[in-house]
Structure 1
Amino acid sequence: MPTPLPDVVLITKADCHLCSDARAAVGRVTEALGLGWSEQSVDNDVALRERFAEEIPVVLVDGVQRDFWKIDEVRLERTLRRALQPGI
């Protein structure tokens, strides 16, 4: 059975310069690995806004918070490579 692809979600908000940088970082890493990603805004989701408040932008991988504010591309790539190769 093939390994499911990691679910990468970027949590953002409007008028957020760090979010623009995060979009670019997540895009570069996921593109290099042949993965997709999605974006959710706290502007339209009260629960997300309460959960992440001052940590925006936030990267979730399979529902687990992996980074916030400034996205570390090396760490994100390492996390995603591990998710693609379970048991390692």
Structure 2
Amino acid sequence: MLGKHGCHLCEEALEVIRRVSADTGAGYTVRYLEDASRQERDEYWERIPVTFVDGAPHDFWRVSERRLRAALD
């Protein structure tokens, strides 16, 4: 997940990611825009949180638990 410190949507997304990860055994990492490249900041600033599956953008703004589970199956 790519997010921003203090972002309530990012906190909600991370809760979903943690729950799905615990159930499926999938790993995850959290990165923050403050530490991202200028290109990533420019591309994703208005769309955080951004979830990625296998390195590809998967969801923006909100994480659908159903879609994330389906993508990890």
Query: Quick check: TM above 0.5?
Result: yes
Q: Which has the larger radius of gyration?
A: 1
Q: How does 1:53-68 map to 2 (within 5 A)?
A: 53-68=45-60
Partner of 1:38: helix, strand, or coil?
A: coil
- 5+ residue gaps, structure 2: none
Q: What is the aligned partner in structure 2 of residue 80 from structure 1?
A: 72
Give the CA deviation at 1:47. 2.4
Q: What is the aligned partner in structure 2 of residue 12 from structure 1?
A: 3
- 5+ residue gaps, structure 1: 1-9, 82-88
- Between the two proteins, what is the percent identity of the paired residues? 35
Q: Is the 8 A contact 2:26 2:72 kept in 1?
A: no
Deviation beyond 3 Å, 4+ runs, structure 1: none
Task: Provide the TM-score with structure 2 as the length reference.
Answer: 0.92
Q: Is the 8 A contact 2:4 2:33 kept in 1?
A: yes
Task: Provide the TM-score with structure 1 as the length reference.
Answer: 0.77
Using the alignment, how far apart are the partners of 2:25 and 2:55 within structure 1?
19
2:29 pairs with 1:47:
no
